[in-house]
Structure 1
């Protein structure tokens, strides 16, 4: 009989593709690098063709690209079988890869991770920080198992709303408007505006449009920490989500803007494939803890 493809070979292919190299994949899988190399080589012998380009980073060949979705499904299904058995015995185990935007990682996830650890001590949640527009792509590609999506429309069945994260003006504490209860975006025109090129730009533009104020950012900054540092240094002002509060130095403040603007946060598994029992369990824990209509800020 011809040799069969096995789960260890498919798991190695997925791990090397996602990690970008054999060494990182070995760490991810908790095995030696030679074991990963042998598994991929064995897969290639069974298939009769290479599945990976051995470069930096390692990447799938055309054949590898074609079989990768099936490999992900097989690995996910095997993980689900194990999770179902573990749950039957009284608890979730395994690993859930969770993607979220930077501000969510800073302001919302620490409490969720603490609660999950207390409720499911044998389950590991690994966090992947990304830009808003990357998260849905990672989720549907199988790079992660769950994600906190911004303004998901529509949200997959079973997704859990985490609330609304409002937009605030970021000011130095010595700024004339820093002590106000709210700040009209028109009052920010006297300062140079620093725009974060993340997913909040459309919310900021919409607030300016509704206020009838011209939106003319002086600087465009990709990294949120860089933007905060520049406001801290007195270069200008900005607008960002309230969840960024833990990232701020002591002499910077967030003040709600007028007209109000917010983004909706949703915790979900993928839309295009079944959720693992571990993901379903985590979302159920959040759903049970949150009252309907609760908001983040």
Structure 2
């Protein structure tokens, strides 16, 4: 090998893999694009083969895929060492990459971010919005340091329960069912159903299964704001979590469905590697710890 692998090279690899490009990685790391390119090139010389496929976006090569988990561990460990070394400053320090579903980003995170900024001014929290199924993968792969997981299975010690988020029918305010206290899902069969593919499909299917009602979505929509806009325009109806309330225009309402179905939300660090002191500090200040 031409030289030893160093932390700057691994940090550059992780940044390009996560952002998809050298320019975005440079912004992420606060260095020049040239410096990122040189670091990756030096890593490839040391390993004797490319670790990235150049393109839009950049993707890891097969070698890069094997190296990337170890690079993430090294970068995370270095960050933890820096954080531990500065704990004498009076509290946790560093950057926490936090992933969460869209509705959580809209409804819960703004309050948490305000509280964290006041309590832990030396911690920077960077939010990544994702779909339910992506979040656990990001967390365990080291793409993020913490995440709000939906229906988490055996969360690790220190995880925090953020509560249960019940499913509601999304209707225009002038819909005949909008004034009811609850709506049975069977009552929605007369309308075109818009299904969000962002992560709540299994909860919706469960409600229909329990009710013995026919589930036949007419439209499948990936973006939640698009779905809300279509309901607002009178295209149809939908079912979504109560936390979506903050996203609704005045002419739309949420009505609890029957049978009642909910999802649980858990704020946690990874299950299979140590948490950074910054993650531990943030979660300790939130509230209820999940029993383990």
Paired residues of 2:149 and 2:268 also in contact (CA < 8 A): yes
Alpha-carbon shift at residue 6 of structure 1 (Å): 1.4
Indicate the larger mover: 254-263 or 197-206. Answer: 197-206
Describe how 1:264-283 pairs up with structure 2 within 5 A: 264-283=264-283
Q: What is residue 200 of structure 1 aligned with on the other side? A: 200
TM-score by length of 2: 0.95
Runs of 5+ unmatched residues, structure 2: none
Alpha-carbon shift at residue 2 of structure 1 (Å): 6.9
Q: What is residue 176 of structure 1 aligned with on the other side? A: 176
Paired residues of 2:158 and 2:290 also in contact (CA < 8 A): no
Q: What is residue 14 of structure 1 aligned with on the other side? A: 14
Q: CA separation in 2, counterparts of 1:292 and 1:27?
A: 36
- Equivalent position SS for 2:190: coil
TM-score by length of 1: 0.93
**Residues 52 and 217 of structure 1: CA distance in aligned 2, closer, same or farther (over 3 Å):** closer
Describe how 1:41-190 pairs up with structure 2 within 5 A: 41-190=41-190
Q: CA separation in 1, counterparts of 2:28 and 2:285?
A: 26
Alpha-carbon shift at residue 243 of structure 1 (Å): 0.4
Runs of 5+ unmatched residues, structure 1: none
- Equivalent position SS for 2:169: strand
Q: What is residue 40 of structure 1 aligned with on the other side? A: 40
Q: What is residue 219 of structure 2 aligned with on the other side? A: 219
Paired residues of 2:160 and 2:290 also in contact (CA < 8 A): no
Describe how 1:24-35 pairs up with structure 2 within 5 A: 24-35=24-35
Alpha-carbon shift at residue 150 of structure 1 (Å): 0.5
* Deviations, residues 63-95 of structure 1 (Å, cap 9, x unaligned): 222221111111100100111122232122221
Paired residues of 2:148 and 2:268 also in contact (CA < 8 A): yes
Q: CA separation in 2, counterparts of 1:258 and 1:53?
A: 50
RMSD between aligned residues: 1.8
